[in-house]
Amino acid sequence: MPTISIEQKVLNALMSEAGHGHDIAALEHELPLLGTDIDRCDEQTLDIEIFPDRPDLLSAETLARAMRAFLHKETVDPSLHVEGPTTSMTVDEGLADVRPVILCAIVRNVNLGADDAAKDAAIRRLMDHQEKLHFAIGRGRHRASIGVHDLARLAPPFRAVSTGRDASFVPLGAEEAMSIDGILSDHPKGVAYAHLLDGMDRVPLLVDANDAVLSFPPIINGVHTTVTTQTTSMLVDVTGWDLAACEAALHLVCLQLEAMGGRMEQVEVIGGGGQGIHPRGAPVHHRLPKGLVKKLLGRDFTLEEVTSAFRRMGGDVLDEDQDVYVVAMPRWRLDILHHVDLIEDLAIGHGYDDLGASTPTAPSHGQPRPDAHLRRRVRTALVGLGFTEVQSLTLSNHDDQFARMRWTPSGAVTEITNPITVDHTVLRQHLLPGLLRLLAANRHHDLPQAVFELGTVVRDHRNAGRVSFLVAEASGGFAAVRGRIQAFMGALGAHEGTNLEIEALPDNDGPWLAGRAARVLVNGAWVGCFGEIDPHVGASFELAVPMNAGEFDMAALDAALPDPV
C-alpha cells in the first residue's frame, strides 16, 4: 500500500483555509474508516498509509478535501468545476494499437505558493502525486501515465502522433536531443519503462502546433515543457489503455491543482479511445435500492441520514422515491463498482456504531476441527519450551521459499497472477522462510529470540498444515536443537527407543549446516526435519547469528501420533 508523507504545515494550511484544524487523536481514530492509517506523526511530518481502494487520497490536497467532509462534515461538491474547451488534441489513427486513450485538461491561474521555497515544495507534491497515481491507478504506467507541462511554453492546438523509433527530441533530464531508441536504452526513465513498448515499431509522441515535442508517453516529457516556480498555467495529459483509469488520473491531478487555486478548462479530444470533451466534471449518478440497503445493513434510514452519510464521503443524495436513492458520487471514485460499494460508504459515513443490533435466526454451535486437539498440544508444547507464537503472511516469493533455502518445490507452486510487489509472488510452501524474515526485521533486539508458527502452506494448489520453529542464540548448536526436538516430540507422545527415530540428513538438503541436520521419524514415517541453519543461508536473510530450527508436517504428525484422549 502506498504511503504519503505530508508536512504538518501543509496539512494545517489546507485545513485552516476552510476554518478547520486537525486533532491527531481524532485522525488516528477516524481516518482508518476513510481508507487510511497513520504510520508516523511528529512535529514536522505526518506519514499516512493509503488503502489500495482509495487512490483519490494520494495527495495532501485531495486527502485534506476528504478530511474536511468526513471529519468536519463540510459539504464538498462531488463534481469538478470546468469551463468549456478553447483548444483540442487530435489523435492519430495509428495509435489504436500503441496508446489508444489520450485525454487532456488545461489548468490556469495556479498559485504554487508565496515564495520560491513554497512553490518548489508544491511542485514536488505534484510530481509525487503523479508517481503514486502511476503506481495505484496506472499499474506501473501501463493502464495510465500522466504528463504535466508548462502551458506558456506551448502552442495549441495539440496532436498525438505515431512515429518511428528514429525520431528525436530533448527529453527531461538531458541537454541534447536523443532518438527514441537512445532514450529507451540510455535514459533512466527509458530503461525503467522500455518494456511497455516492447514489440512496437512505432511509438506515441504528443506535439504542439509548432511540432515541438511535449511528451513521449509513457516514458518521459520534453525538457522545454518543465513546470517551474514561474509556471501559472499547465497542460495535463493522461495516456494509456484503460479509459476509466485515465479519466480518474486526469480528474485527481486537476483536483489537486484546483486546491492550489487552479481554474479547469476542458480540451476537445478528436479521435482515439478517449474521443470527446474532457475532463467531464459531472458526478456519476447511481440508483441505490433501499431494499438492498436494509438487507445488508439491517435497518431503514431516513433521507436525512442517507444524505448526511454520503456527504461525509464526498458525495450527495439528489433524490429518492419509494424504492431507490439517487446518489451522486465523484467521477474519480474508481472503487465504486457495485451497489455494495455504495452501501459500504453509507455505513462508514453514518457510523458502524449506530447500525442497530440483530440476533441469529438459526441457533447453532461450533465444532472443533479434526486436528484441533493436535494443534492445541503442539502450541502447548512449544510455548512450554519458551517459544513465542507468531503469524506471518501466506504470500511469499521464489527466492525466499526455494533459492535461499536450497529447497526444491514440492508439487506445483501456486503463483499470483497480478502481484503488486516482488516480495509476494507465490503462496508459501514452507513456514521457516517467514520466520527468518521476522528475525531479520528484529535483529536489533537482544538474543535469545525463539519463535514458532503453526500455519497453512499451499502445495500442489492444496492447503496443508505445518509447524516451524526458529531460535537465534549465541550458544545454540545441534545438541540444543536436538534437546528441544526430544522434549517437543515427547510432549506429543513419541520417545527415542520406542517409536521415535532421528536420522542424519544428506548435506545441502535444505537450509541446514552440513552434518548438523536430521529427519524425524515416528514408527518409521517421516514427520519433519531440524538442524542448525547454515551461516550462508542466514547471511542471505541479513542474519549473522547462530540459529537452529525445525519444520514439521501437521498431517504426518496427526497420522503418526493419534490423539491419546
User: Residue 14 belongs to a domain with what CATH number?
Assistant: 3.30.56.10
pTM of the predicted model as reported, rounded to 2 decimal places: 0.70
State whether 193 and 248 are in the same domain: yes
Please return the burial class of 550, using the count of CB atoms within 10 Å of its CB with bins 0-12, 13-18 and 19+. Answer: buried
pLDDT of residue 419 exceeding 90: no
- What single DSSP character describes residue 359? -
H helical segments located in 168-302: 180-186, 188-193, 243-259, 290-297
The pLDDT value given to residue 266? 97
Q: Which domain-ending residue is among 72, 103, 126?
A: 72
State whether 299 and 170 are in the same domain: no
The pLDDT value given to residue 22? 66
| Distance (Å, whole) CA 193 – CA 449 | 43
Residue 323 near residue 87 (C-beta atoms within 8 A): no
The residue segments making up the domain with residue 330 are: 284-351
| Distance (Å, whole) CA 351 – CA 301 | 12
Structural domain contains residue 362: no
- Taking residues 247-260, what's their average pLDDT? 96
Mean pLDDT is lowest, of 15-29, 286-300, 344-358, for 15-29
State whether 262 and 310 are in the same domain: no
State whether 263 and 299 are in the same domain: no
pLDDT digits (tens, 9 = 90+) for 43-60: 788 888 888 888 999 999
Residue 433 near residue 404 (C-beta atoms within 8 A): yes
State whether 293 and 233 are in the same domain: no
State whether 121 and 270 are in the same domain: yes
Structural domain contains residue 189: yes
Structural domain contains residue 65: yes
The pLDDT value given to residue 71? 86
Structural domain contains residue 357: no
- 3-class SS of residue 179: strand
pLDDT of residue 4 exceeding 90: no
Structural domain contains residue 15: yes
Structural domain contains residue 356: no
Between the alpha carbon of residue 558 and those of residues 416, 525, 562, the distances in Å are: 30, 11, 6
* Better pLDDT: 318 or 370: 318
| Distance (Å, whole) CA 515 – CA 277 | 72
Domain count, the chain: 4
The pLDDT value given to residue 8? 79
The pLDDT value given to residue 25? 66
- 3-class SS of residue 116: helix
Q: What is the 3-state secondary structure (H, E, C) of 99-113?
A: CCEEEEEEEECCCCC
Structural domain contains residue 366: no
- Taking residues 231-245, what's their average pLDDT? 96
CATH number of the domain enclosing 119: 3.50.40.10
State whether 160 and 215 are in the same domain: yes
State whether 260 and 292 are in the same domain: no
pLDDT digits (tens, 9 = 90+) for 475-492: 878 999 999 999 999 999
State whether 222 and 128 are in the same domain: yes
| Distance (Å, whole) CA 487 – CA 469 | 14
State whether 68 and 196 are in the same domain: no
Q: Round the average pLDDT of the chain to a whole number and report it.
A: 91
Structural domain contains residue 27: yes
State whether 29 and 99 are in the same domain: no
